[in-house]
Amino acid sequence: MDFRYLLILGAAALGIASCSPETPKAFLRPIPPDEKVVQDNNNIQYFDPRVDILFVVDNSGSMGTHQANLAANVTQFTSTFTKSSVLDYNIGIVTTDMDNYGGNDCCGRLTGSPRIVNKATPNADTALANNFLVGTSGSAIEASFDPVVSALSSPNVTGWNVGFYRPDATFVVIFITDASDQSRTTTDPRDLYKFLLNLKGGNAKKILAYGVIVPSGDSTCPRDSGNPVTTEAFLGMVQNGVGGKNIMNICDPDYGLKLANMAKDIVDKVGNVIYLDRPAALESIRVTYGSIDLPKDFETGWSFDPNKNAIILGSKVDWNSQPSGSKVKVFYSAAKFK
């Protein structure tokens, strides 16, 4: 028989085998993985969630009381992250000053010492509380959008702010101001959203935003300038937040509780959901953290959401049970369809 004919028959046989009725449909139409998940060839997924949180704090003359309130309650924010040791976070602060009134503490440059607070920072709560006290000598032209773009652009992103922004991390921006946005360059909220979306490769799930402001229409909380309509418009584009809302009144008496809820919302969205690459056979799923198996329990372990094809980690997992830096792994077999 002609050798070339044998080669043709062999190629045809391979093609038939690759499309056999027993071939899992998951291989034919895979579910794209989320960026924070890495898969190997044995249906093991390693969960390594990262988040970069940028606070934009108003440092104009009207903010003294608000800054003190923030610093006094920031522990309720950071403790939520420190309790979730699986979450790798960076927290930085910039001011609304784009006119260089405060020297180095302006123009999108991270302020405080250390400039970046993370899991490795000793006494992170105290360090962050001190960083929030940015003073009240900043420009009276309070810009909310411009400092964000400046912080994440050259020369700051690779110079003064180096190490803060990570392309694979979810980015969170939190505005804290009693004024409307007065940016001179990024004046349209759509431009800020497009800028962040471009940084994240078009993945809107990688962007979260919150506003601690004086909402439009509020007549009880003193406002430094007009209604913050552009800030509210941007926050509306992002569509996230506690109960679908991502705006908090800067004069709220239960400030600490609201900050804790904001932090919990970030952890829930970034650090508790593991999207699987393939439809999983439920009985095959095993989830480990460090050297221990997590129970199938929606509070203290994990549960499975078939609509999302995702593992949901419980809110009461004891993240301190393993050394810092321990990873979550998901073992499973792909579901087969006939």
Question: Could you give phi then psi for residue 284, rounded to 5 degrees?
Answer: -95, -10
- 262 with 281, same domain: the answer is no
Q: What is the pTM of this model?
A: 0.81
Q: Answer whether residue 10 is part of any domain.
A: no
Q: Answer whether residue 100 is part of any domain.
A: yes
- 144 with 80, same domain: the answer is yes
- Looking at residue 207, its pLDDT comes to 94
Q: Answer whether residue 1 is part of any domain.
A: no
DSSP 205: G
Q: Count CB neighbours of 201 within 10 A.
A: 10
- 225 with 153, same domain: the answer is yes
- Looking at residue 337, its pLDDT comes to 62
- 74 with 202, same domain: the answer is yes
* Beta pairing partners, 334: 280
Residue whose tokens read 């420190």: 82
- Total domains in the chain come to 2
Q: Answer whether residue 5 is part of any domain.
A: no
What does the pLDDT profile of the chain (338 residues) look like in tens digits? Answer: 444 434 333 444 434 344 433 333 333 333 444 434 444 346 888 888 999 999 999 999 889 888 888 888 888 888 887 776 688 999 999 999 999 876 657 999 999 999 999 988 998 888 988 898 888 889 999 999 999 999 999 999 999 999 999 999 999 999 999 999 999 999 999 999 999 999 999 998 899 999 999 999 888 998 887 889 999 999 999 866 444 578 989 998 888 888 888 888 898 888 888 989 888 888 999 999 999 999 999 999 999 999 889 999 998 898 888 887 788 999 999 887 65
- Looking at residue 34, its pLDDT comes to 47
- Looking at residue 21, its pLDDT comes to 37
- 147 with 33, same domain: the answer is no
- 165 with 35, same domain: the answer is no
- 195 with 315, same domain: the answer is no
Q: Answer whether residue 14 is part of any domain.
A: no
Helix (H, G, I), strand (E, B) or coil at 173: strand
Residue type, 6: L
- 199 with 265, same domain: the answer is yes
Q: Answer whether residue 13 is part of any domain.
A: no
C-alpha Rg value of the chain to the nearest Å? 24
- 35 with 65, same domain: the answer is no
- Looking at residue 42, its pLDDT comes to 61
- 39 with 123, same domain: the answer is no
Residue 186: CATH number of its domain: 3.40.50.410
Q: What share of the chain is helix, strand, coil (3-state, %, to 5)?
A: 30, 20, 50
* Domain carrying residue 91: 50-270
- Looking at residue 70, its pLDDT comes to 84
> If residue 295 lies in a helix (H) or strand (E), which one and from where to where?
none
- 124 with 42, same domain: the answer is no
CA distance 52 to 62: 28
- 232 with 124, same domain: the answer is yes
Q: Which of 270, 288, 309 is the last residue of a domain?
A: 270
302: left (phi over 0), alpha (psi -120 to 50) or beta: beta
Contact, 180 vs 226, CB < 8 A? yes
